Copies of this chain bind each other. A is one copy, B any other.
Amino acid sequence: MADKKMVEAITSMEEDFAQWYTDIVKKADLIDYTSVKGCMVFKPAGYAIWELIQRQLDDRFKATGVENVYLPMFIPESLLEKEKDHVEGFAPEVAWVTQGGLQPLQEKMCVRPTSETLFCDFYKNEVHSYRDLPKVYNQWCSVVRWEKETRPFLRSREFLWQEGHTIHATREEAEERTIQMLNVYADFCEQVLAIPVVKGQKTEKEKFAGAEATYTIEALMHDGKALQSGTSHNFGDGFAKAFEIQYTDKDNTLKHPFQTSWGVTTRLIGAIIMVHGDNSGLKLPPLVAPTQVTIIPIRQKDAGVLDKAYEIRDSLKARGIRVKVDDTDKTPGWKFSECEMRGVPIRIEIGPKDIEAGKCVMVRRDNGEKFECALSDINDKVKELIPVIQKDMLEAARERRDSQTYVATTKEEFEKIFSEKTGFVKAMWCGEQACEDEIKEKFAVTSRCMPFDQETLSESCVCCGKPAKKMVYWGRAY
């Protein structure tokens, strides 16, 4: 009865996907709301996922030569205003500090919505000669955007992220870094989060405020909606010109350097929930699961049961596995259901009869597979399962994504798909913003990206019929 109650408490995703999502966020103990609207508490289970993302992504950054720094959270108004497009993009949604201590400030400051302007101000002091280039810096911090509508992980007024900001001698080197970091993100999503992504370039309309080119990774959620999961921007020398950053090159002439920025946020946790989760709750890929194995003792008051559970735990822990014993006084059924809700990849059940028979029961969260395992094989089996679960989860996500990816060659096909379904639609585009606007207005979808893997689906734009220039992924976005 107890476990029934726990499962019934979450709305099914077929009934109401948004409510299902919110239920998981609460029931899996990831987030709590606060008295500051749109700002949330990351509870231990939620923050631990972010820590695992952070550490593994940071290792990948550092392997490409990235160095971490920390810049202030405040941006003086005059600094924010230096780059025209950038300020237009961000000024309407920043939080303003107008008073410090008991005095009003002479110049108001915003809490950083992103730190391009601060990095430019910093680089202006740091970069004088070609010898000072490149600088490949990153920071992990929180940023603030005063959004009207907020949703846990997906959109909140304060969120956690990393922002890389680099500066280079040549346009080519900047472009190379932009693409390199997009690839780091894509590999990380696939290999660590088990989320397949489409890599591509944003259209002019959808690119970042102040960028020459924005690249993106786009993932598809369980409900067929698209989630922009990471972006990488090439600024050319636009910011350098606005901020008057110059360096003396080898030929002794003054030149403007070239810049990039790239970031991912805690919205990746939202992606994990919506790509992998089911009606029993969260499903965590083992590489970002704070607890990879939960051991649930059956008839735990019987002599030797808890001792055996602790022995298994200690042995797994010594092999680097993140493991817990649930020795609370809840019923086993309740514990199973809680363990599923929280997305623990592997569950081990062990009771007096199992111990007598020298075995335990193991259950995979990703596919529900249940099997017996000799006690002496537990360590090897868990070690073996982790990459297998990781791979199977990626595969399952890819299959679902592919089954929700459609092709439209005419406006009628396009309309038909989006009137019946939600998913990615691949279609040809003439490159004109008028068509992009028309599609957005008529079908309530946006261009997600012009994928690197271009195909020729037809010769003409799906909207106007003129010659097509690019294949575009379209979708309904979070």
A interface with B by C-beta (< 8 Å): 32, 34-36, 39-44, 47-48, 50-51, 67-76, 79, 92-102, 108-109, 111, 118, 121-122, 125-126, 137, 141-142, 144, 146, 157-158, 160
Q: Are B97 and A101 neighbours in the complex by a CB distance under 8 Å?
A: no
Q: Which residue from B36, B43, B72 sits with its C-beta under 8 Å from A74?
A: B36
**CB < 8 Å neighbour of A95 from B47, B67, B99:** B99
**Are the CB atoms of B32 and A126 closer together than 8 Å?**
yes
Q: How far is the CB of A57 from chain B (nearest CB, A)?
A: 14
Cα(A69)–Cα(B39), bound, Å = 14
Question: Quick check: A97 and B96 within 8 Å, CB to CB?
Answer: yes
User: Is the beta-carbon distance between B122 and A72 smaller than 8 angstroms?
Assistant: no
Q: Are B101 and A98 in contact (CB under 8 A)?
A: no
B72 and A41 contact, CB distance less than 8 A: yes
Task: Give the shortest distance, in Å, between A165 (CB) and chain B (any CB).
Answer: 12
Q: A39-B72, A92-B102 known; 11 other A-B pairs, CB under 8 Å?
A: A35-B76, A36-B109, A41-B69, A47-B67, A50-B70, A70-B142, A73-B111, A93-B101, A100-B146, A100-B157, A141-B142
A137 neighbours in B (Cβ, 8 Å): 44
Min C-beta distance of A68 to chain B, whole Å = 5
A69-B41, A79-B35 known; A146 and B96 CB under 8 Å?
no
- Chain B nearest Cβ from A135, distance in angstroms: 9
Residue of B nearest to A29 (CB): B126
Bound complex: CA of A51 vs CA of B79, how far in Å?
A: 28
Q: How far is the CA of A71 from the CA of B100 in the complex (A)?
A: 22
B-side contacts of A122, CB under 8 Å:
32, 34, 41
Structural contact, A101 and B34, CB atoms closer than 8 A: no
Give A121's nearest chain B residue, CB to CB.
B35
What residues on B are CB-neighbors of A35 within 8 Å?
76, 79, 121
B-chain residues with CB within 8 Å of residue A99 when the two chains form the complex:
95-96, 98, 108
Which residue, A36, A48, A50, A79, has most C-beta atoms of chain B within 10 A?
Answer: A36
A36-B76 CB under 8 A given contacts A44-B67, A146-B100: yes
Q: In the bound complex, do residue A111 and residue B111 qualify as a contact, i.e. CB atoms below 8 Å apart?
A: yes
* Residues of B close to A73: CB separation below 8 A: 39, 73, 111, 142, 144, 158
A98 nearest CB neighbor, chain B only:
B98
- Shortest Cβ distance from A92 into chain B, in angstroms? 6
Are A72's CB and B40's CB within 8 A?
Answer: yes
